[in-house]
């Protein structure tokens, strides 16, 4: 039956990119709505229009810690770290962020510097080409400089100029111009914005590291195998121009320089003259560390052609990612992919280890006093370690996701290729909705092997544990040198009571490992035969505070030829502990727990010894729906009585009491179904180009407004979520701009559109700055949550709903759910049975009481300066009031 309703065209804003930058919601004109039948009624009431316009898109927190060396304050009380287009000031005493310095032009931070002699100012370089001097305590910019677009390295150094009492803050920058690199110096940029800079060195080699020591008297730089040292001329030092250096280049016995650190120290005091020197430590791509001591005395002697090597240290089996001198010069700390922090004692040659860290090490930062280390890991977390006791002082975690969309596809492993529509496995805890559970990688790998539990209200990590085999601290290379990749978690679902977790992970061998047996020319189908798939069931242990593995099912869907079948979807039943899987063999398997008792515990109490194992007790064959199907979607109704399965362009409704197919219906003419979601009696069906709403009780399909292709660009629907608390559903759309001759590539934008389920009209639309990789409904607070490729968490919600309207909608939804449950039961002739919704609806009303401890838990969970935003606190107060009624 084709719908008879008139489709409403959704007006898409032409300036979507501007709306995304402004971060505000744009209301759509909805003068015509759809009702059952052919009636169309105009909405002209100001109140309803105002409610539609109150949807807003808010940034909850920036979840990604960017790979930029953090900086300690001089007093070691604060740590400055990059959060993309902002710098976060983190208090080590309270272990909470106390301030955020946001860039005015929304440009990403590329470097941080803090000078010990100027502790109140933080120097920030941005991707847009600005160098900014921030008064971080006051939270304002004091000075900025442009023309920094092609700067790759930057050092801010205090210079002592003759006849001037106050030190100058000069910058030394490595810039690229064509195929050449040069080092530029500017000593007056804080006094004059138009102060010119001077190029002091030019080379055809790519400079990868830069250090400026002893007040600009010496510049140490590194290219691929070259160590470059510049010494300030006496004349330039006397005049204070710092524009003339004498340069020496040394070719080192290394494969490729990966890190550099320079230490300046005093070696002798003769009268009023102090002799200074520098020590250099260099890390190599092969894992070697070269130590050069008292370098200045070596280069000052005439006739020397090289640097005297003090020590050659080798423990790392791969490249040294970072190294640091201790303040006294007795130790060197280093780290790399081995997830081990190594401390080298230079006098005795001994090594101390801090092993089994959470992820490979990216960088090591030492405080100005030398009492604290800040170790940044590949999983985008930072741990502050005491230099004396080697224990953790503070840990800062973000959302541990691949930092860009390109990182979601690993060219070395086809099994971990993921589409934007599928997104990353992430769910909100049904009983603790402030907790977000998501699959995360162990480090630089794009394979998702860990479960991260993150509190979206406080922005802090709650827990992290492995879901699949990991090789964080073990040798991750085979005999032939090929990487051993960990499995990849593809699906994750929680039961309605939050006690059972189901995950699906897969693993494929490296292509080079199977070439001897299958040949060098392999396609995806041949690699699929060697693929391993595991379905795992976990039970929450309250005593241990972790998810314990209860059952592991190897190859849950098996083909006739014997290889594992790809899993297309995994869903949890809403009314009981039950999971269903859909395989590419077009078979649905129902997994249910069965009780079991251990032999040694038969004499004990059954309540203490009973465990559960998960088994497949029922299967449904849908092979009649077609063949060669690579995508599928499933959704349970709110009362669990129906399972909707979307395959190709048709939807199949399954009675979960008999586990039989009740009816099948073609929804779209050609599009393949991407997602299906139930909301009461309505089933929302989404494809790349179409959107439909099926009233399964009245058997009526309606078509809401869908974006139409025009000369300005084409669109594609990529994600769907439903929110019963607001009686809405939302669609994420990707729009490709027009192909203009003046632009080398077409501009892509993403937007979220919220529809009313009852009227099927668009209520509001807002653009996203980055592509979303996960889109979820938040039934507890009302609205939707989007996680983008930069690990930012956005909330698209209706914040100005009053408590009375919220209570009324809750009461009304209870009555609707009761009617819906009866309607769904009538489909399968179960009118005489009482559903969960009917049981709730006949409960006696209670007198609303507000417990003060509920509010205390909201405002006392953190210090005042570390509380969540005001919008989040308001929603928590509203939820406390509603839950007390």
- Please give the Cα distance from 111 to 131 (Å, whole number): 9
Tell me the residue ranges of DSSP E strands in 302-366: 311-314, 320-325, 331-336, 341-345, 351-354, 361-366
Higher pLDDT, 20 or 182: 182
Size of the chain in residues: 885
User: Does residue 596 surpass a pLDDT of 70?
Assistant: yes
User: Does residue 24 surpass a pLDDT of 60?
Assistant: no
Lowest mean pLDDT among 47-51, 160-164, 434-438: 47-51
Confidence of residue 721 (pLDDT cuts 50, 70, 90): very high
Distances 184 to 174, 227, 381, 729 between C-alpha atoms, Å:
6, 18, 33, 55
Distances 324 to 262, 566, 715, 860 between C-alpha atoms, Å:
8, 47, 50, 40
Beta carbons within 8 Å of 44's beta carbon, 6+ residues apart: 31
Of 475, 472, 69, the closest CA to residue 259 belongs to: 69
Lowest mean pLDDT among 37-46, 229-238, 393-402, 577-586: 37-46
- Please give the Cα distance from 594 to 725 (Å, whole number): 34
3-class state of residue 858 by DSSP? helix
Read off the pLDDT of residues 688-698 as tens digits, 9 standing for 90 and up. Answer: 889 999 999 99
Of 304, 221, 307, 219, the closest CA to residue 257 belongs to: 221
- Please give the Cα distance from 638 to 636 (Å, whole number): 6
Lowest mean pLDDT among 35-44, 232-241, 337-346: 35-44
- Please give the Cα distance from 447 to 488 (Å, whole number): 5
Write b or e for each residue in 246-271: b if 16 or more Cβ atoms lie within 10 A of its Cβ, otherwise e: eeeeeebebeebbbbbbbbeeeeeee
N-terminal to C-terminal alpha carbon distance within the chain: 44
Read off the pLDDT of residues 456-473 as tens digits, 9 standing for 90 and up. Answer: 988 889 999 999 887 666
What pLDDT is attached to residue 859? Answer: 65
Mean pLDDT value across the chain: 80
Read off the pLDDT of residues 523-577 as tens digits, 9 standing for 90 and up. Answer: 666 666 778 999 999 999 999 999 999 999 999 999 888 888 999 999 999 889 9
What pLDDT is attached to residue 854? Answer: 59
Query: Is the distance from CB of 641 to CB of 660 less than 8 angstroms?
Result: no
Question: Which percentage of the chain shows pLDDT scores above 90?
Answer: 47
Supply φ then ψ for residue 330, to 5 degrees. -85, -20
Of 147, 187, 152, the closest CA to residue 168 belongs to: 187
- Please give the Cα distance from 489 to 468 (Å, whole number): 7
User: Does residue 9 surpass a pLDDT of 60?
Assistant: no
What pLDDT is attached to residue 29? Answer: 35
Total-model pTM = 0.79
* Helical (H) or strand (E) element with 608: helix 606-609
What pLDDT is attached to residue 21? Answer: 40
Confidence of residue 393 (pLDDT cuts 50, 70, 90): very high
Sort residue 856 into left (φ over 0), alpha (ψ -120 to 50) or beta: alpha
What pLDDT is attached to residue 629? Answer: 84
- Kindly state the tokens that stand for 143: 């000075």
CB atoms within 10 A of CB 437: 21
Confidence of residue 486 (pLDDT cuts 50, 70, 90): confident
User: Does residue 846 surpass a pLDDT of 50?
Assistant: no
Beta carbons within 8 Å of 431's beta carbon, 6+ residues apart: 497, 498
Report how far Cα 122 is from the mean position of its chain's Cα atoms: 26
Work out the burial of residue 312: count CB atoms within 10 Å of its CB; fewer than 13 is exposed, 13-18 middle, 19 or more buried: exposed
Q: Give the residue carrying structure tokens 């250096």.
A: 245
* Helical (H) or strand (E) element with 813: helix 803-827
User: Does residue 212 surpass a pLDDT of 60?
Assistant: yes
Read off the pLDDT of residues 308-358 as tens digits, 9 standing for 90 and up. Answer: 888 999 999 999 999 999 999 999 999 999 899 999 999 988 999 999 898
Query: Is the distance from CB of 280 to CB of 262 less than 8 angstroms?
Result: yes
Contacts of range 239-245, beta carbons closer than 8 Å, 24 or more positions apart: 239/162, 240/159, 240/161, 240/162, 240/163, 240/164, 240/187, 241/187, 241/198, 242/159, 242/170, 242/185, 242/187, 242/198, 242/200, 242/216, 243/185, 243/198, 243/200, 244/200, 245/200, 245/201, 245/219
CB atoms within 10 A of CB 408: 21
- Please give the Cα distance from 86 to 108 (Å, whole number): 7
Read off the pLDDT of residues 396-411 as tens digits, 9 standing for 90 and up. Answer: 998 888 654 444 433 3
Of 403, 441, 405, the closest CA to residue 421 belongs to: 405
What pLDDT is attached to residue 31? Answer: 35
Beta carbons within 8 Å of 477's beta carbon, 6+ residues apart: 483, 484
What pLDDT is attached to residue 626? Answer: 79
Distances 450 to 547, 756, 824, 839 between C-alpha atoms, Å:
12, 37, 39, 39
HEC assignment per residue over 367-393: CCCCCEEEEEECCCEEEEEECCCCCEE
User: Does residue 158 surpass a pLDDT of 80?
Assistant: yes
Higher pLDDT, 443 or 827: 443
Q: Calculate the dihedral angle through the C-alpha atoms of 139, 170, 125, 260, rounding to the nearest 10 degrees.
A: -120
Crossing angle for the helix pair 852-859 and 870-884, to the nearest 10 degrees? 160
Read off the pLDDT of residues 787-836 as tens digits, 9 standing for 90 and up. Answer: 998 889 999 998 654 343 344 444 544 544 454 444 455 444 444 343 33
* Mean pLDDT, range 704-713, rounded to an integer: 55
Higher pLDDT, 471 or 231: 231
């Amino acid at each position: 039956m084709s719908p008879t309703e008139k489709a409403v065209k959704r007006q898409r804003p032409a300036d979507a990119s501007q709306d995304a930058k402004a971060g505000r919601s744009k209301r759509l004109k909805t003068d015509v709505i759809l009702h059952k039948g052919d009636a169309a009624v105009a909405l002209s009431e100001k109140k309803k229009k105002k409610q539609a316009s109150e949807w807003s898109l808010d940034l909850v927190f920036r979840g990604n810690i960017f790979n930029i060396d953090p900086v300690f304050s001089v007093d070691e009380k604060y740590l400055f770290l990059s959060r993309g287009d902002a710098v976060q000031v983190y208090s080590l005493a309270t272990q909470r962020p106390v301030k955020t310095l946001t860039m005015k032009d929304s440009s990403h931070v590329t470097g941080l510097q803090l000078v010990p002699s100027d502790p109140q100012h933080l120097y920030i370089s941005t991707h847009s080409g600005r160098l900014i001097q921030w008064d971080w305590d006051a939270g304002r910019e004091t000075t900025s400089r442009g023309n920094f677009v092609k700067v790759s390295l930057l050092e801010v150094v205090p210079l002592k100029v003759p006849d001037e009492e106050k030190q100058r803050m000069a910058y030394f920058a490595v810039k690229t111009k064509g195929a050449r690199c040069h080092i530029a110096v500017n000593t007056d940029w804080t006094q004059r914005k138009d102060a010119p800079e001077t190029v002091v060195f030019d080379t055809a080699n790519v400079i990868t590291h830069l250090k400026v020591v002893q007040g600009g008297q010496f510049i140490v730089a590194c290219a691929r195998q070259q160590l470059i040292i510049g010494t300030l001329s006496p004349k330039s030092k006397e005049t204070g121009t710092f524009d003339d250096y004498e340069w020496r280049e040394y070719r080192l016995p290394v494969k490729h320089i990966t890190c550099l650190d320079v230490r300046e120290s005093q070696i002798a005091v003769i009268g009023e003259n102090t002799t200074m020197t520098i020590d250099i430590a260099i890390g190599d791509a092969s894992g070697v560390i070269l130590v050069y001591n008292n370098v200045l005395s070596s280069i000052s002697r005439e006739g020397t052609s090289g640097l005297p090597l003090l020590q050659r240290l080798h423990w790392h089996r791969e490249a040294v990612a970072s190294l640091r001198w201790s303040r006294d010069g007795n130790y060197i700390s280093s780290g790399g992919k081995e997830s081990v922090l190594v401390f080298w004692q230079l006098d005795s040659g001994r090594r101390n280890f801090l092993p089994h860290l959470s992820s490979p090490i990216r960088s090591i930062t030492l405080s100005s006093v030398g009492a604290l280390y800040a170790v940044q890991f590949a999983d985008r977390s930072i741990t502050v370690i005491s230099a004396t006791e080697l224990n953790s002082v503070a840990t800062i975690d973000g959302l541990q996701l691949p930092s860009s969309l390109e990182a979601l596809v690993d060219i070395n492993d086809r099994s971990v290729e993921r589409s934007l529509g599928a997104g990353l496995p992430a769910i909100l805890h049904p009983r603790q909705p402030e907790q977000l559970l998501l699959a995360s990688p162990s480090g630089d790998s794009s394979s998702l092997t860990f479960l991260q539990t993150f509190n979206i209200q406080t922005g802090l990590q709650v827990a992290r544990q492995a879901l699949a085999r990991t090789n964080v601290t073990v040798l991750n290379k085979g005999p032939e040198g090929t990487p051993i990749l960990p499995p990849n978690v593809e699906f994750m679902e929680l039961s309605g009571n939050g006690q059972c977790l189901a995950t699906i992970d897969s693993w494929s061998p490296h292509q080079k490992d199977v070439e001897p047996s299958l040949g060098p020319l392999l396609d995806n189908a041949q690699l699929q035969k060697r693929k391993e798939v595991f379905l795992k069931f976990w039970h929450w242990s309250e005593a241990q505070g972790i998810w314990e593995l209860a059952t592991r099912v190897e190859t849950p869907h098996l083909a006739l030829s014997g290889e594992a079948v790809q899993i297309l979807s995994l869903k949890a039943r809403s009314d009981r502990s039950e999971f269903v899987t859909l395989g590419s063999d077009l078979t649905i398997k129902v997994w249910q727990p069965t009780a079991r008792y251990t032999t040694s515990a038969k004499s004990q109490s059954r309540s203490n010894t009973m465990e559960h194992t998960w088994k497949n007790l029922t299967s449904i064959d849908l092979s009649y729906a077609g063949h060669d199907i690579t995508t599928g979607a499933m959704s349970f109704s709110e009362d669990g009585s129906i399972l909707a399965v979307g395959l190709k362009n048709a939807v199949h409704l399954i009675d979960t009491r008999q586990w039989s197919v009740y009816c099948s219906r073609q929804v779209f003419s050609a599009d393949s179904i991407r997602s299906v979601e139930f909301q009461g009696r309505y089933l929302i069906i989404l494809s790349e180009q179409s959107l439909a709403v099926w009233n399964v009780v009245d058997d009526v399909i309606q078509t809401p407004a869908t974006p139409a292709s025009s000369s300005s660009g084409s669109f594609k629907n990529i994600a769907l979520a439903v929110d019963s608390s607001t009686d809405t559903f939302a669609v994420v759309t990707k729009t490709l701009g027009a192909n203009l001759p003046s632009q080398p590539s077409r501009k892509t934008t993403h937007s979220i559109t919220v529809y009313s389920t009852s009227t099927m009209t668009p209520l509001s639309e807002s653009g996203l700055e980055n592509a979303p990789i996960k889109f979820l409904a938040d039934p507890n607070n009302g609205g939707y949550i989007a996680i983008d490729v930069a690990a930012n968490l956005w909330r698209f919600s209706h914040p100005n709903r009053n408590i009375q309207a919220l209570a009324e909608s809750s009461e009304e939804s209870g009555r609707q759910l009761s009617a819906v449950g009866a309607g769904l039961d009538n489909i399968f002739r179960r009118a005489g049975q009482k559903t969960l919704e009917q049981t709730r609806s006949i409960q006696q009303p209670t007198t609303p009481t507000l417990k003060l401890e509920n509010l205390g838990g909201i405002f006392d969970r953190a210090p005042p300066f570390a509380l969540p935003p005001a919008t989040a606190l308001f929603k928590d107060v509203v939820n406390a009031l509603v839950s007390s009624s």
